[in-house]
Amino acid sequence: MYKKSLFIVGFLGMTAVALGAFGAHGLKILLEPEQMETFRTGVLYHFIHTLAMLALVVGRQHLQSSYLMPMIFFTIGIFLFCGSLYLLSCKSILGLEHWTFLGPVTPIGGMFFIAGWMSLMFLKVEKKN
């Protein structure tokens, strides 16, 4: 499970960097300032939750319970929250104006982020003597 988790974190980190660079260099001339800000918000939350997942994977040996639930919640949150922000900010250049369902997807992704952080509160941590 450790190797799979590390692969997922590596993939999500790589895509956060790639999307951040693409936004800064490729989209800057195509998007309005408010669209660019929405895209940047997606990248920021993508990075924050990828780093939280990395902390879970690296610190797993100190946990008595599985870190799987926060990992799942954060991953779904990245796809729904960040993914919807990426698509919402670029919908005019992608021709997705008719995708009206994207707006409600963002808060659903945010709820998964909240669930991930809440699930951290219930992880059992190994006591040190």
Model pLDDT for residues 5-22, shown as the tens digit of each residue = 999 999 999 999 999 999
Residue 104: predicted pLDDT: 92
Domain annotation covers residue 125: no
Domain annotation covers residue 126: no
Closest CA to 68 of 128, 8, 24: 8
Domain annotation covers residue 7: yes
Domain annotation covers residue 129: no
Domain count, the chain: 1
DSSP bridge partners of 125 = 63
**pTM (2 d.p.):** 0.91
Closest CA to 53 of 112, 3, 13: 13
Regarding predicted confidence, which is higher, 96 or 84? 84
User: How many residues in total does the chain contain?
Assistant: 129
Domain annotation covers residue 87: yes
Domain annotation covers residue 88: yes
Q: What's the domain range around 93?
A: 2-120
Residue 20: predicted pLDDT: 96
Could you tell me which residues come within 8 angstroms of residue 111 by beta carbon, excluding any fewer than 6 positions away? 77
Residue 128: predicted pLDDT: 66
Instruction: Return d(Cα 111, Cα 25) in angstroms, integer.
Output: 31
Domain annotation covers residue 23: yes
Residue 102: predicted pLDDT: 86
Could you tell me which residues come within 8 angstroms of residue 123 by beta carbon, excluding any fewer than 6 positions away? 63, 64, 65, 67, 70
Token digits of residue 4: 């799979």
Instruction: Return d(Cα 84, Cα 79) in angstroms, integer.
Output: 8
Domain annotation covers residue 24: yes
Kindly tell me if the per-residue pLDDT of 2 is higher than 90.
no
Q: Average pLDDT for residues 22-48, to the nearest whole number?
A: 95
